[in-house]
Amino acid sequence: MDKKRCSELIKEYIILPTHSLGQNFLIDDGAAESIVDAAGIDRSEEVLEIGPGLGALTEKLSDKASQVYAVEIDAHLMDALHAVLDEKKNVQIIHSDFLKLSKKSIRQDKTSGYKIVSNLPYYVMTPIMIKLFREWDDASAMVFTVENAACDRIFAEPGNKHYGPLSILSSLYGTKEKLFLLDSNSFHPAPHTKSAVIRLTSNGTLSGAPSVLFPLVHAAFSQRRKTLMNALSSSGLFPDGKKQVAELLESMDVPKNIRAEDLKPGDYVRIAREIIQK
């Protein structure tokens, strides 16, 4: 979908991009091609797209995938989306807030492989990614367009000030790659910052981790200035408080004075597995 087609849709359906929803519609046809190519979609695979906007990516995804589930929160875009996509018989438009949707309500025990592609709204990038890692961890790959500055948090290594739940969980999901940048002219309205297209390819680690991993990681970083032991002691995950945490860390040879940002992603999986065995 080029800029001309985007403008026509906006005028015809009287669409005003909603600032509170972080709407920046992709209008660069070449960029859309590159994003879809980066996903490497096989014809047997399904695709979940979050925030299709005016359908620029959705059109191209439908040419590659067996089925596309396009989840859009904004009711004002429904008429335009249907106008663009109704001829695509393998596209299901879902009007809903993705953060409130269960996986089962979309895929319903599907056994086919699938991937996730999304031009993530900047304001809600983190909760969407965390939900995907928690509930959609069996996706074979995820391709996101994100604010370039957000890559600091996604790609941060232990010891870095940006290191936290997002970098840990994305590392546990699989291999991370920053593929290319998109300038502001690729979107309408043009954002004030550049965007980056990133690809995450699953290695199966996250899908095999205990579910307690998620509250554990968030608890560890809830009070960054405290030691890991103090942060976990007040998290509610350990009924016996500091004594229980101290015994756990000691049994795993984890120093009591270590901080959350000094542990590697794999260390959190080890701790999570130890918790469920106690």
Query: pLDDT tens, 105-126?
Result: 998 767 789 999 999 988 899 9
| Residue 19 pLDDT greater than 80, yes or no | no
* CA atoms 180, 186, 188, 189: torsion sign: positive
CA–CA distance, 267 with 222 (Å, rounded to integer): 17
Look up residue 248 and give its two tokens.
């756990």
| Residue 191 pLDDT greater than 90, yes or no | no
Overall fold of domain 213-277:
Helicase, Ruva Protein; domain 3 (1.10.8)
pLDDT in tens, 24-33: 889 899 999 9
pLDDT band at 6 (very low <50, low <70, confident <90, very high): confident
Is 213-277 in the same CATH topology as 3-204? no
pLDDT band at 22 (very low <50, low <70, confident <90, very high): low
Q: What are phi and psi of 148, to 5 degrees?
A: -55, -40
Segment 92-114 shows an average pLDDT of 91
Q: What is the pLDDT of residue 145?
A: 97
Q: What is the pLDDT of residue 162?
A: 96
Model's pTM, two decimal places? 0.93
pLDDT in tens, 123-175: 899 999 999 999 999 999 999 999 999 999 999 999 999 999 999 999 999 99
- Quickly list DSSP for 81-121: HHHHHTT-TTEEEEES-GGG--HHHHHSS--S-EEEEEE--
Contacts of 27 (CB under 8 A, 6+ apart): 1, 2, 3, 6, 56, 186, 187, 188
pLDDT in tens, 239-254: 888 999 999 999 999 9
CA atoms within 13 A on the CB side of 190: 8
CB 165 within 8 A of CB 221: yes
Q: Does domain 3-204 have CATH number 3.40.50.150?
A: yes
- What residues are paired with 69 via a beta bridge? 48, 92
CB atoms within 10 A of CB 29: 17
Q: What is the pLDDT of residue 97?
A: 95
Helices (H) and strands (E) in the chain, counts: 12, 9
Mean pLDDT estimate for the chain? 92
Domain ranges across the chain: 3-204, 213-277
